[in-house]
Amino acid sequence: MRKIFFFLLYMLLGTAVQAMAATAPDSVFVVKDGRIVSAYEIGKDVDNITFLHKTVLTGNCVRIGDETVEMKSAVVTYKGSYAYIYLSPTAGLTTVEQIAEGSYLQVAVTTGLLGKNVHLSKFADDYTDNDFLQVMYLDMDKFTNDDNYEPVMFSTDDWSDYFADGTANISMEDGQLSVNFDCLPIDGGQAFLGQYKGGFTDIAQSPYHFTVDGKRMEMRAAFAEKVADGTAFYLTPGNIDRANDLENCYYYVRLFVPESNMDGSEIDINGQKQYELTFVDNATDVNNPQTISISNGKTGNATGSVSVLKNADGTYDITIDVEGMGRTADRQLQVRYNGEPAPYDLSLPNEFSVAGADPVTLKGAAIKHSDGLYTIYLSTKSDAMTATDVLAADIVVTVPDGFANDDMVHGFSGTSENAMISITYEGTKYCQSTTSGTAAVALGGNAKLTVDGGKINLDFTVFSAKKYSGSIMGHFEGNAAQL
């Protein structure tokens, strides 16, 4: 049990204290469980005791060093197993976006810690690796004007870098938000403490989610592919706009349900109704992506259900609740989605980008074939290029006959045939000779070309062009004028 030290006047302590005070009138007494267990004479023994000063705050505020900032708005939102709390010195704010425009205090806490008295020095013993708490104060003026400014913060996994100890309690009950934290700074550090008790704007957690093995993520993107007898849906927590990027997401799922079963009824994965479910995990082992597929009669140890409801307005309600998947029968997947999926289209837009800048649309192409070499001219201006237009082409790509139509990407480096590949942009020709040696203008490049009558399919990349401090990459698929 923690010992609490008190300075006590003898007239307030009762008879037992009076007796001790008679022999030690200028003393500090240690009281434990209501009884005096020891006394220390001031000027003689008291120097052996360290007293921690408790800063007292008034009202809803945050103290950073010697500065006190009043907090007037509070917003709470959720993501997965985390609650995010934002306090602002500006009154009347009701969204995170509004609060983030100025200075603010942010608390990120796993929901299992709400209402708990968290003691930083005991956190590793009292809680699990899945529990987490972080408190940060951002002074927007300093952040904007001082390149060396760092927000004041602590978290349960690195608090000892900045503080000797600390306590915190965060709770939400009966429509009231309560935030209390107090950190003891290390030598030379600044105080960091705060308190808030009052109303808040609660931005409810969306019911639509993508949960893998208990890890809940926001359900962000959906695509629909029309196939025989139904629709295949691709769902992912990845923040993507195109189906081409599904393979770059941590997780995604493909669910097929026949049109006749899109009535919202629950489909038992071990029942008779037709379905196909494929789960792709690119995160657990980045070098060996995992794919788990189940369908009628091929479920292994998996149990659960799926359902799809097709609504009259073109939206869908999709539910996946399956566990026991995989070889070890320990993978779990829960997905909830509502909305209108984007078309599942793997075609790439005709465009190019430089060093990650906004892509530029390619409107037209022309192709010349002579002496065993294809030369492709790309334009951002002309839809139907002529011989005159090619003189002002934005990008020119050359690919030898031997590398065309083999559905393979070929790089600059290699044989003399590789040396025939080139990409010219803004007057600079990138090829084998210009991307090697000490005077290299880029790290390398590649191209992939398919020619089918009057149509071409071309992908090209220049890696780390020095002139732009980034890569040049693009794609064009469509008709090309013959020169």
Of 321, 307, 304, 314, the residue nearest 263 (C-alpha): 307
Instruction: Tell me what the mean pLDDT of segment 251-279 comes to.
Output: 95
State the pLDDT at residue 332. 95
Mean pLDDT computed over every residue of the chain: 86
Q: Which residue has the higher pLDDT, 189 or 460?
A: 460
| Residue 71 confidence (pLDDT) above 90 | yes
State the pLDDT at residue 82. 86
Q: Which of 25-34, 84-93, 379-388, 422-431 is the least confident region?
A: 25-34
Of 105, 100, 110, the residue nearest 80 (C-alpha): 110
pTM (two decimals): 0.56
Q: Which residue has the higher pLDDT, 93 or 130?
A: 93
Instruction: Tell me what the mean pLDDT of segment 472-480 comes to.
Output: 94
Q: State the pLDDT confidence band at 205, using cuts at 50, 70 and 90.
A: confident
| Residue 72 confidence (pLDDT) above 70 | yes
Q: State the pLDDT confidence band at 78, using cuts at 50, 70 and 90.
A: confident
Q: Which residue has the higher pLDDT, 385 or 396?
A: 396
State the pLDDT at residue 189. 81
Residue carrying the six token digits 């600059």: 412
* Cβ–Cβ < 8 Å for 68, 62: yes
* Cβ–Cβ < 8 Å for 302, 294: yes
pLDDT digits (tens, 9 = 90+) for 274-301: 999 999 999 888 888 999 999 999 999 9
Q: How many helices (H) and strands (E) does the chain have?
A: 4, 39
- Pairwise CA distance, residues 52 & 394, whole Å: 70
DSSP H helical ranges for 28-128: 96-99, 123-126
**Percentage of the chain surpassing pLDDT 70?**
88
Helix, strand, or coil here: 249? Answer: coil
pLDDT digits (tens, 9 = 90+) for 336-383: 999 999 999 988 899 999 998 999 999 999 999 999 999 999 999 877
State the pLDDT at residue 4. 28
Q: How far is CA 426 from CA 330, 350, 374, 380, 429, in A?
A: 55, 19, 20, 13, 8
pLDDT digits (tens, 9 = 90+) for 96-141: 999 999 999 999 999 889 999 999 999 988 988 889 999 999 999 9
State the pLDDT at residue 55. 63
Instruction: Tell me what the mean pLDDT of segment 445-457 comes to.
Output: 94
Structure-block tokens of residue 408 = 């393979």
State the pLDDT at residue 92. 95
